Structure 1
Amino acid sequence: MTYTPVDNAVDSSSAARQGAADYPGLDDWRSLPIAQQPSWRDHPGYDAAIAELSMVPPLVFAGEVDILRDRLAAAAQGKAFLLQGGDCAETFDGATADKISARVKTILQMAVVLTYGASLPVIKMGRMAGQFAKPRSSNDETRAGQTLPAYRGDMVNGYDFTPESREHNPARMVRAYHTSASTLNLIRAFTQGGFADLRLVHHWNKGFTSNPAHSRYESLAREIDRAVRFMDACGADFEALKRVEFFASHEALLLDYERALTRIDSRTGRPYDTSGHFLWIGERTRDLDSAHVDFLSKVRNPIGVKLGPNTKPEDALALIDKLDPEREPGRLTFITRMGAQNIREKLPPLVERVTASGAQVLWVTDPMHGNTVTSPNGYKTRNFDDVMDEVRGFFEVHSSLGTFPGGLHVEMTGDDVAECLGGADPVDQEAFLEGYESVCDPRLNHMQSLEMAFLVAGALSRKD
């Protein structure tokens, strides 16, 4: 991995150290190698942005984080399944009520398919309300002879290819906070105010174009309706069906932002990163001696780590020792992103060694990032068949080893975009010309997301 020198990457000013009271070791990351950080140390608005983020209310609360840890512990024990989905990179302009509701609706639909098909509780988690920054393979981008900083997500700079837009601006962190707050407010209204009532499963499908996946979903919804009517006739209390738990997650990439939103919990005296319930470390930033691993080892949130095909069993064991030294169920999730061609060969040694160590991590598949290709007409895309094959391989590996495939992590949207090739109603590369909307990586559209949910539900039900 290539790291930016520390003295060029991290501000150690007093403003940067605000956000949580002093806690032993919480700022050790500042002296460690750190990758994928913006070059905004000397920006005149840096101190003001950090100071403001250090004083704003938390986006999530420590009690909610603790509940999620309990839910993930159940999944690690094979008693629940994690469904985590959302945009590759959220945008400020995309944080509209329609787009947020469509995304939440699709995740709820997928969860219903999984719950009903597998008879297993599903933990619902969005890549939402904080996924505004992305690691990049290059610091710069060149077009027509002009070289500018690469787009690193709306929390850092703009997508428009101009010097003004591509400047790394710390004020964008403050806008990301407020956009996340409004997104979470809407999610809570949807999931706690009756929108997510299980008796409304038919309504979640309205407004979407008719296609094979929706027809299959409608059939399942009718079965649920019949079951609900039966329970109603038996006098069942439906209060529990009116609302659902929904958690927010993102990659903890920008440590300036994460540190500024870290607070000390008054109940326990421990630090919680209140920017989201669940945070993960990416494949590019998971070096054991890096700033990202050190910082996230100090907060109480459940932590995920992306593991690619070059991960060695020793790497996984060292990460467990660093991030989960107390071997606490629900604390650590390994999100594997191997690629369809590697999953059946590369995953078994990791699972075998981790299982033999006695650690109880949650295993989740990310079938998206290892299957990225470029289409003949130049678009970054993924073949749906490859994505599905990695999911199948993930389940096959765990079935052969007698371990539990505990979750699914996908980049998806509730919109009918055209970004990934294939599916039951096939997307071809010509559809990209009008339907490609992602500013970063390609996402499954609504129909493809439902197709995947039916595949996973079938794989889970066969484990019984």
Structure 2
Amino acid sequence: MSALLPPSSLAVPEALQQPVWPDPEALRTVRERLRTALPLVLPTECDVLRRRLAAVAAGKAFVLQGGDCAETFRDLSLGTVSRKMDTLFGTADELSEAMFLPVVVVARLAGQYAKPRSQPVETRDGVTLPSYRGDAVNGPEFTAEARTPDPHRMLQVYAAAGATLNAVRSLLTERRTALGQREMFVSHEALLLDYERPLTRPDARTGDSYAGSGHLLWVGERTRQTDGAHIEYLSRIRNPVAVKVGPTATPAEVLALVERLDPDREPGRLTLVARMGADRVRDALPPLVESVAAAGGQVVWICDPMHGNTYNAPSGHKTRHFDAVLDEVTGFFEVHRSLGTHAGGLHLEMTGEEVTECVGAGVAPADLPLRYETACDPRLNRSQTLELARLVGELATPVAG
């Protein structure tokens, strides 16, 4: 790994899905403030997660990654964080008991404030404004003021992430006292490079660069180009990293990602998150898994059953059906079982609240308007998440220690 990364976008390839900041001087000021701020997570914590993920890669553990599609400043509260943690740990306990495996809990938390968008602009009633890219960039209200990208929001993200991590660590201490040892790591999509690069620091022990914004960072389907800026960034940090791959990914593309991000074939270094869709997973996933295994890849394979199963309900709400989510997970396990490889985990957009955003498992299409609260994509509610864990536990073949 290289030492400290360049603080600006000048030294790396093209970065896709970046906002057009209207005030370059304000952006420089924000970058400098982030560059001198304390890291939110420590290299030693990232090393612990890498060891936990190495056990997953070896088939000796399972990983549960979950949380909001996009965190928002308005929903930041101790109660929200606590309920999300309770749901994640309850889900992990259900999976662990069924699989006879330890479950590594990685939350989409304390940094998931930016989102890629299919279109850079949105038009309503003849008015065109920049798309909402998450609270790290602009506001969801459809006004010129709210939708103008503001780099100062990245400082709000840093403060909100720090407050969230303080709450997580305090709640973990309570749970250790009451329930025994508990661990939870935080992750988010490394989308805004103007936020990630200034928070990347060399470790005094080794000189390796670590992202200080989260324990695990991932790159999404839209920004996983092997010669792109996001993969370049991941290749130069020591944190465990992940990449999402969809149904159009080819074995050659996935192998190129493995070579770029994990040339030493280090267990726990690289996670591949399959987001295929229920109707594609059984056909699209096997060639990828087979090619990585043949090349000696020691990766963690995780199923994201959310993003490939989105549709618009008659009410106009973007939603997902619980049955399709479960079917994709079922197909994911079937593929790995047929190939003799390890189905390593789940990546869920979920919440600890009883929202009505995904239909099925207790939520009817007519219920969608009742508590449709997401800032972007629909999430499983608490009850649906726990029900999915119960059903996934039935799918999994117990692995003897």
Q: Which TM-score bucket, shorter chain as reference? A: over 0.9
Q: Is the 8 A contact 2:138 2:150 kept in 1?
A: yes
1:450 corresponds to 2:386: yes
Q: Is the 8 A contact 2:271 2:299 kept in 1?
A: yes
Q: Is the 8 A contact 2:355 2:372 kept in 1?
A: yes
> How far does the alpha carbon of each residue in 1:232-268 deviate from its partner, in whole angstroms, 9 at most, with x for none?
xxxxxxxxx1x31110000000011000100110111
Letter in 2 for 1:58: P
Matches within 5 A, 1:86-235: 86-194=67-175, 197-198=178-179
**Cα distance in 2, alignment partners of residues 22 and 462 from structure 1:** 42
* Bigger mean CA offset, 322-331 vs 187-196: 187-196
Letter in 2 for 1:454: R
1:435–1:117 CA distance, 2 compared to 1 (3 A)? same
> How far does the alpha carbon of each residue in 1:156-175 deviate from its partner, in whole angstroms, 9 at most, with x for none?
00011111100100000000
What secondary structure, in the 3-state scheme, does the structure 2 residue paired with 1:434 have? coil
TM-score by length of 2: 0.96
2:36 aligned residue (55, 64, 77): 55
Query: Which residue is equivalent to 1:381?
Result: 319
What secondary structure, in the 3-state scheme, does the structure 1 residue paired with 2:56 have? helix
1:429 corresponds to 2:365: yes
1:347 corresponds to 2:328: no
Query: Which residue is equivalent to 1:7?
Result: none
2:208 aligned residue (270, 273, 282): 270
**Cα distance in 2, alignment partners of residues 419 and 24 from structure 1:** 40
1:256 corresponds to 2:237: no
Q: Is the 8 A contact 1:373 1:382 kept in 2?
A: yes
> How far does the alpha carbon of each residue in 1:353-397 deviate from its partner, in whole angstroms, 9 at most, with x for none?
111111111000000000000001111000110000000000000
Gaps of 5+ in 2: none
**Cα distance in 1, alignment partners of residues 241 and 295 from structure 2:** 19
> How far does the alpha carbon of each residue in 1:400-435 deviate from its partner, in whole angstroms, 9 at most, with x for none?
000000010000000000000101x2x122212221
How many residues are paired up? Answer: 399
What secondary structure, in the 3-state scheme, does the structure 2 residue paired with 1:60 have? coil
Query: Which residue is equivalent to 2:375?
Result: 439
What secondary structure, in the 3-state scheme, does the structure 2 residue paired with 1:386 have? helix
Alpha-carbon shift at residue 193 of structure 1 (Å): 2.4
**Cα distance in 1, alignment partners of residues 177 and 244 from structure 2:** 30
Q: Is the 8 A contact 2:241 2:271 kept in 1?
A: yes
Alpha-carbon shift at residue 459 of structure 1 (Å): 2.2
Q: Is the 8 A contact 1:29 1:292 kept in 2?
A: no
Matches within 5 A, 1:273-292: 273-292=211-230
**Cα distance in 1, alignment partners of residues 4 and 369 from structure 2:** 51
1:356–1:25 CA distance, 2 compared to 1 (3 A)? farther
Letter in 2 for 1:334: L
Query: What's the C-alpha RMSD, in Å, of the aligned pairs?
Result: 1.6
**Cα distance in 2, alignment partners of residues 257 and 154 from structure 1:** 13
Letter in 1 for 2:197: R
**Cα distance in 1, alignment partners of residues 11 and 85 from structure 2:** 36
Letter in 2 for 1:367: P
**Cα distance in 1, alignment partners of residues 32 and 10 from structure 2:** 19
**Cα distance in 2, alignment partners of residues 326 and 250 from structure 1:** 24
1:357 corresponds to 2:338: no
What secondary structure, in the 3-state scheme, does the structure 2 residue paired with 1:64 have? helix
**Cα distance in 2, alignment partners of residues 180 and 333 from structure 1:** 23
**Cα distance in 1, alignment partners of residues 187 and 389 from structure 2:** 20
**Cα distance in 1, alignment partners of residues 224 and 177 from structure 2:** 36
Query: Which residue is equivalent to 2:396?
Result: 460
Alpha-carbon shift at residue 26 of structure 1 (Å): 8.4
Alpha-carbon shift at residue 31 of structure 1 (Å): 3.7
Query: Which residue is equivalent to 2:248?
Result: 310
1:371 corresponds to 2:309: yes
Q: Is the 8 A contact 2:303 2:347 kept in 1?
A: yes
| Structure with larger Rg | 1
Letter in 1 for 2:200: T
TM-score by length of 1: 0.84
Query: Which residue is equivalent to 2:341?
Result: 403
**Cα distance in 2, alignment partners of residues 195 and 150 from structure 1:** 42
Alpha-carbon shift at residue 462 of structure 1 (Å): 4.5
Letter in 1 for 2:258: I
